[in-house]
Amino acid sequence: MLQAETCLGCQRTRNILLSCLFNIQYAQTRIEHKLMPIIACGINHKTAPIELREKVAFLPEKLGLYLQDLVAQESVIEAVLLSTCNRSELYCNSQDASQLINWFCQHHQVSKEELQSAWYCYHDQDAIEHMMKVACGLDSMVLGEPQILGQMKDAFSEACATGSVGPQFNRLFQQIFTVAKEVRTHTSIGACPVSIASATVSLAKKVFPLTLSEANVLLIGAGDTIQLVLRHLQSQSVKNIMIVNRNRDNAQALAETFAVSSAEFGNLKKELHYADIVISATNSPAAIVTKSMLIGLQKPLNIIDIAVPRDVEMSAAEIENVALYSIDDLKNIIQENLQGREHAAEKAMQKIKLRSLEFISWLNALDQVAITINAYRTQIENLSNTELAKSLRQLQRGEDPAKVLMSFAHALTNKLLHNPSVQLRQAGVEGRFELLQLVQQLYALPTIPSIEEN
85 part of the active site: yes
Interatomic CA distance for residues 146 and 94, integer angstroms:
29
Rg (C-alpha) for the chain, rounded Å, is: 33
The full 3-state SS of 207-239, as one line of letters, equals HCCCCHHHCEEEEECCCHHHHHHHHHHHHCCCC
Confirm if 72 and 64 have CB atoms less than 8 A apart. Answer: no
Interatomic CA distance for residues 260 and 243, integer angstroms:
8
3-class state of residue 40 by DSSP: strand
79 - beta bridge partners? 92
Torsion of CA 139, 352, 197, 280, to 10 degrees: 50
Confirm if 183 and 348 have CB atoms less than 8 A apart. Answer: yes
Active-site residue identified among 41, 85, 105, 136:
85
Confirm if 328 and 52 have CB atoms less than 8 A apart. Answer: no
Confirm if 290 and 313 have CB atoms less than 8 A apart. Answer: yes
Chain centroid, CA 229 distance in Å: 28
Q: Which residues contact 215 (CB under 8 A, 6 or more apart)?
A: 204, 208, 238, 240, 276, 277
3-class state of residue 120 by DSSP: strand
Confirm if 121 and 130 have CB atoms less than 8 A apart. Answer: no
Q: What are phi and psi of 21, to 5 degrees?
A: -65, -40
- Point out the residues that are catalytic: 85
